[in-house]
A and B are shown apart, each in its own frame.
Chain A
Amino acid sequence: MQQEYLLEVEGLKKYFPLGKGRTLHAVDDVSFAIRPGETLGLVGESGCGKTTVGRTLLKLYKPDGGRIIYRGEDITKVSGRRQRELCTHMQMIYQDPYASLNPFMTIGEIVSEGLEINKIGANRMERTAMTYELLERVGLSREHANRFPHEFSGGQRQRAGIARALAVNPEFVVCDEAISALDVSVQAQIINMLMDLRELMNLTYLFIAHDLSVVRYISQRVAVMYLGKIVEIGKASEVYVHPAHPYTQGLLGAVPVADPDFEKSKTYQAMVGEVTSPINCKPGCRFANRCPYATEECRTVTPDMKAVGADHFVACHRL
């Protein structure tokens, strides 16, 4: 069944040189594909490279290896005008609504900047009208256009950040921890809005988050990352119900559930140890030192992705 993918990533690598011959392997040989209209959740602990994946996809970082294919076109090396055109197709919503809006610009200016740069809309009046429409679409009002970011609450700022991303009418949006900085009740408002916008504007999301329950809720498929590598990828219903990789199992077991009887009766098998350093990684499974099932093979040979079910792949020697 040949299905057309909106975005394909093959063997993506991003290394950061640290000097003195040390290299941080932020993203190391990551492959995945996203179908149009789908939401892929990307989860993992801090430092696992999930944000770097998002940023490299949008070419905010120059990839050090691998290919990014957007609608059949290899965009890994494009630059100049084509790159700018691509920006109208691919956008990003950032984590920190306090740091990602320019404090010297009004919300209206922030949202309409992308329209101006890309010459969307015939004249200023038309662009203003579009800005107003965008603000209303994300639950702000046109009166907000003349205000500055500091006059808004975190939730409202995040809405402005979403309006900015959607201004150029993109197809693909990377939501990088878009809701992590918000309070629960506001979080729910934004999640619901993102889901409505997905329907309305036919969006495809790469939803990066560390909160597994939010990802389960919004994504059709999930990819679990650990130290620069995807260890498990598959349908959300599949990965959450039958996690196959020991890391996914541990991660899911560690999330406390809002059910006191269940939580207190649960035998807690806290994952031992902490994430090791992604600097100058050796071959072998990167989870081996925390894995309860690790063997000699795990420490020396890097595991390949293996299919364990329909649309469910795991990188583990045990399977």
Chain B
Amino acid sequence: MSEHLLEVKNLHVSFRNVVGEVKAVRGVDFYLDRGETLGLVGESGCGKSVTVQTVMRLNPEPPAVIKQGSIVYDGVDLAKLDDKGMRKYRGKEFSMIFQDAMTSLNPTTRIGKQMKEMLRAHRDISDAEAKKIILRMLTMVGLPNPETIYSRFPHTLSGGQRQRVMIAMAMSCEPSILIADEPTTALDVTIQAQILEVMNKLKKEMNTSIIFITHNMGVVARMADRLAVMYAGQIIESGTAQDVFYRPKHPYTWGLLGSMPSLKGDVPERLMSIPGTPPDLFDPPRGCGFASRCEHCMNVCVNRVPPETEVAPGHRVRCWLLDPRCKTAVKPPIGRDSELIPGKEDA
């Protein structure tokens, strides 16, 4: 039905409680093709984790509610499946690795046993076969002496080793989509570099697609083929990594890129910073979510949600500055070609 491996359309997710409703995801569209890595970036609370957890249907419902939208995988709308129906996909077709590998592993069970448990739940194989697969996976993620790791408890491993075990576990059913939710945030840079390497290697060998969530623009530059920037429950800019890094169009993306000090290039006088804090999604703003922090904010921004504009094939931006009726030209302060936004007269 759809040409993409996974296609999420107009997804709205809310969390209901006694006082009201937190509109965590407010109309998210994205797709994922086979063998590619999609980076999902944004600050804490922007809805990136909720989005992927909804794809996996990991949020308990209630309090979570999928208000509208579809999640189409392999011709099936996952948003309409019940828990039992999802079981066929979770772990087998999609698997997920989390930021904190310690809390994701069962502390009372040996590594081998927990991996076997998951493997045999999805595949009809014997105990010995399972062990063979597990040892192969542990070797693939670069753990020395997999035999010892197999019979050890999670707390005896280091953070980097635990994250490798998580990856081995997630990949052992050969899923077509691996969702990585800030997998390296808790790790040191040298270990992070090793883990990213392992993920790239496995992706190539097993032809897996990855959704990689992070707030680190450096990590996403290393990993992602395409990029989606989220803010206040919406994807405000998406495109190839080159589009977003070199030709960013949304003021929030400028701010995000400009506020990161870099190891490359000259040391700037001052970092660009975005004033204020993200909006409260209990009562999301009527117009653009970023309006209250945007220095280019116009009247229309406060009142109406900006439509999606395709500035180049596949490069979509939600910003009123790109509307042909907008007369103000704004020079992007960041990016490779700091050109004027096309079609605009100088104000």
Contacts and interface: CB of A to CB of B under 8 A. Distances in A.
B27 interface: no
Contacts of B273: 185, 188-189, 191-192
Nearest to A155: B277
Interface string A237-265: 00010000000001111111111111110
B43 A270 contact: no
Contacts of B43: 183-186
A275 B193 CA distance: 14
Interface string B248-284: 0000000111111111100110111111010000000
Q: Please classify the interface of chain A as helix (H, G, I), strand (E, B), loop, or mixed, using the class held by over half of its residues.
A: helix
Interface in B152-208: 158, 160-161, 188-194, 196-197
Given A184-B260, A260-B221, A254 B44 contact: no
A188 B255 CA distance: 10
A256 B221 contact: yes
Nearest to B218: A256
A217 B264 CA distance: 11
B242 interface: yes
Contacts of B215: 183-184
B191 A184 contact: no
A214 B197 CA distance: 24
A261 B225 CA distance: 10
Contacts of B188: 45-46, 210, 275
B271 A212 contact: no
Interface in A190-236: 191-192, 195, 210, 212-214, 216-217
Nearest to B245: A260
Contacts of B262: 213, 257-258
A307 B104 CA distance: 47
A255 B242 contact: no
Contact of A188 (B160, B241, B274): B274
Nearest to B42: A183
B271 A250 contact: no
A254 B195 CA distance: 11
Contacts of B274: 185, 188-189
A187 interface: yes
Contacts of B197: 268, 270
A152 to B, nearest CB: 10
B135 interface: no
Given A254-B190, A255-B189, A256-B222, A212 B263 contact: yes
A141 interface: no
Nearest to B259: A188
Contacts of B22: none
A185 B259 contact: yes
Contacts of B140: none
A271 B190 CA distance: 6
A153 interface: yes
B219 A256 contact: yes
Nearest to A268: B197
A302 to B, nearest CB: 22
A274 interface: yes
A176 to B, nearest CB: 17
A214 B273 CA distance: 14
B263 A216 contact: yes
B190 A258 contact: no
A258 B245 contact: yes
Contacts of B221: 256-260, 262-263
Contacts of B218: 213, 255-258, 263
B191 A274 contact: yes
Contacts of B44: 183
B217 interface: yes
B260 A258 contact: yes
* Among B221, B261, B274, B277, residue most surrounded by chain A Cβ atoms (within 10 Å): B261
Contacts of A153: 277
> Which of B160, B218, B222: most chain A CB closer than 10 A?
B222
Contacts of A189: 273-275
A92 to B, nearest CB: 22
A195 B268 CA distance: 13
Nearest to B44: A183
Contacts of B219: 256
A260 B242 contact: yes
A254 B192 contact: yes
Contacts of B190: 45, 250-251, 254, 270-271
A256 B196 contact: yes
Contact of B257 (A213, A258, A268, A274): A258
A195 B261 CA distance: 14
For the complex of A and B, list the 4 residue pairs with the smallest distance between their C-beta atoms, beginning with the closest. Answer: A188-B259, A256-B218, A188-B273, A217-B261
27 contacts: A45-B190, A184-B215, A185-B43, A185-B256, A186-B277, A188-B259, A188-B271, A188-B272, A189-B275, A192-B271, A213-B218, A214-B261, A253-B193, A254-B193, A255-B189, A255-B263, A256-B218, A258-B217, A258-B245, A259-B245, A259-B264, A262-B264, A263-B221, A263-B222, A268-B193, A268-B197, A271-B190
Interface of B: 43-44, 158, 160-161, 188-194, 196-197, 215-222, 224, 241-242, 245, 255-264, 267-268, 270-275, 277
Interface of A: 45-46, 153, 155, 183-189, 191-192, 195, 210, 212-214, 216-217, 240, 250-264, 268, 270-271, 274-275
Given A189-B273, A255-B263, A256-B218, 20 more contacts: A153-B277, A155-B277, A184-B260, A185-B256, A186-B43, A187-B259, A188-B272, A188-B273, A189-B274, A210-B188, A212-B189, A254-B192, A255-B189, A256-B192, A256-B216, A257-B218, A258-B218, A260-B242, A271-B194, A274-B160
